[in-house]
Amino acid sequence: MNTNVNAHPDNAPGFNWKAWVGPVLLTTAMIAVSGVALSWRNARDRAIQAANQAAVLAQSPVDPGTNLDGKPAPNFSLVNQLGQRMSLSQFRGKVVVLAFIDSECTTICPLTSNAMLDAVKMLSPTDRQRVQLVAVNANPTATSLSDVMNYTKDHGMAGKWDFFTGSTAQLASVWKKYSIYSQIVKGQIDHTPALYVIDSKGREQKLYLSTMQYATENLQASVLAHEVVQLLPDSTSTLPPLSYQASTVTNHEPIALPVYGSANGSKVSVGAGTSRVLVFLASWQSGIRKELLQLDEFAKEPGHPPVVAIDVGPTEPNKAALGRVLNTLPKLSFPIAYDANGEVADAYHVQDLSWITLTSSNATILWHHDGFVPPVALEKAMNHYWRP
């Protein structure tokens, strides 16, 4: 080994190390100043973005989220839809979006799970790999693996999330840790529609409560995507600013909706002009085929108001979902329309699927019913509330 100090380049003939000190120090200082300036600009931009988002959300019914100050997220161990036992702590290193979902829900949960999935779709491919979607069953009775697997398949979440379940006692323990209320009220599950965002170090950052309004699903997804990006160092996602415009759709004027299976792009009109039976539905409903066939029986009877079925888009895993169901049925005698953003469903105050509404010719809602009713019950309601 050569230990001769003269072999060091600093001592080589003609090398003037003093001449390098000034430029090196100046360059280092410039980099430090640039870093401070960049950090300040980033902080300023985040503050401006936060103010703009707050202004948008103040005009909308979407929950802007509650700050949770980085408290450690309570750990739990349950089984997912595949029967695999897992713990929340296994997802350290990823941003976790944790929702409490009723495995049989037909109201707000489909909006929550769709918003979760749509939020991830807004991210860059690189960022998507750094986010984990998690759901915990909020149903105290439908707790089997098949219950959470069926929900997962019906709502297009297979391979997209882990939907955890366990015994009622195990689930109740997790609900308590996360301040989740879950109870059976008049035969239906009533639970807190909570969604937590947990950072990569396992700390709670935000709590959101889902909104039961179909036309806001996309905005809920955007809010969630923006929050996730804030927690991803060196994010490669570019998200558009939040925007919201209140719907102007009402049931007091004709509304044209595209019809499923129409080769020429025809539309059907709902709203004022004609009395109608409107049936709001989705592809994932249990017994949807039987319900459509029974509705066809009612629609064929002479003297009945026209029937229009309306697929509520924001609850569907994709636009083609109901079409696949219809392909298994004979041709129906009534049109099935597609409410892409849910504005029509909101205009008729739909709170569940299915939902049946009987309207007069001036668009007054004469009667509505939460859930499907067979033709005999529908005829009885029509005879009581409707006059030709």
**26 or 67, higher pLDDT:** 67
pLDDT, residue 142, reads: 96
- Answer yes or no: is pLDDT of 171 > 70: yes
pTM: 0.87
Contact 104, 244 (CB under 8 A): no
Residue-by-residue DSSP string for 325-353 = HHTTSPPPSS-EEEETTSHHHHHTT--SS
3-class SS of residue 166: coil
pLDDT, residue 220, reads: 98
pLDDT, residue 188, reads: 79
- How many angstroms separate the CA atoms of 260 and 25, rounded? 70
CA atoms within 13 A of residue 117's CA, in its CB half-sphere: 20
Q: Give 244: exposed, middle or buried? Use CB within 10 Å, 0-12, 13-18, 19+.
A: middle
pLDDT, residue 85, reads: 98
Most confident of 164-173, 241-250, 358-367: 164-173
pLDDT grade, residue 33 (50/70/90)?
A: low
Contact 305, 343 (CB under 8 A): no
Phi (first) and psi of residue 206, to 5 degrees: -140, 150
10: DSSP letter? G
pLDDT, residue 121, reads: 98
pLDDT grade, residue 9 (50/70/90)?
A: very low
Q: Cα–Cα distances in Å, from 217 out to 138, 213, 220, 308, 346?
A: 20, 7, 5, 24, 12
Contact 261, 330 (CB under 8 A): no
User: How confident is the prediction for the chain on average, in pLDDT?
Assistant: 90
- Render pLDDT for 188-246 as a digit per residue (tens, 0 to 9): 788 999 999 999 999 999 999 999 999 999 999 999 999 999 999 999 999 999 999 99
**In sequence order, what are the beta bridge partners of 147?**
none
**In sequence order, what are the beta bridge partners of 67?**
206
- Render pLDDT for 253-262 as a digit per residue (tens, 0 to 9): 889 999 998 7
Q: What is the mean pLDDT of residues 130-145?
A: 97
- Render pLDDT for 79-110 as a digit per residue (tens, 0 to 9): 999 999 999 999 999 999 999 999 999 999 99
pLDDT, residue 248, reads: 92
pLDDT grade, residue 6 (50/70/90)?
A: very low
> Among all chains, which residue has been given the structure tokens 């039976």?
277
**16 or 353, higher pLDDT:** 353
% the chain with pLDDT above 70: 87
- Answer yes or no: is pLDDT of 131 > 80: yes
Contact 353, 153 (CB under 8 A): no
pLDDT, residue 193, reads: 96
Question: Which domains are assigned to the chain?
Answer: 60-230 (3.40.30.10), 255-385 (3.40.30.10)
Phi (first) and psi of residue 351, to 5 degrees: -125, 0
Return the structure tokens found at 6: 């003269």
pLDDT grade, residue 19 (50/70/90)?
A: low
Give the residue from 251, 232, 242, 254 showing the smallest Cα distance to 343. 251
% the chain with pLDDT above 90: 78
Edge-to-edge strand list for the sheet holding 355-359: 336-339, 307-312, 276-281, 355-359, 365-370
pLDDT grade, residue 12 (50/70/90)?
A: very low
- Answer yes or no: is pLDDT of 265 > 90: no
> Among all chains, which residue has been given the structure tokens 């503050």?
47
Give the residue from 191, 196, 192, 201 showing the smallest Cα distance to 224. 196
Q: What is the mean pLDDT of residues 136-154?
A: 97
CA atoms within 13 A of residue 321's CA, in its CB half-sphere: 21
pLDDT, residue 185, reads: 78
pLDDT grade, residue 186 (50/70/90)?
A: confident
pLDDT, residue 5, reads: 38
Q: Which residue intervals of the chain are DSSP H helices?
A: 18-58, 109-121, 125-128, 145-154, 168-177, 217-230, 288-300, 321-326, 343-347, 375-385
CB atoms within 10 A of CB 133: 20
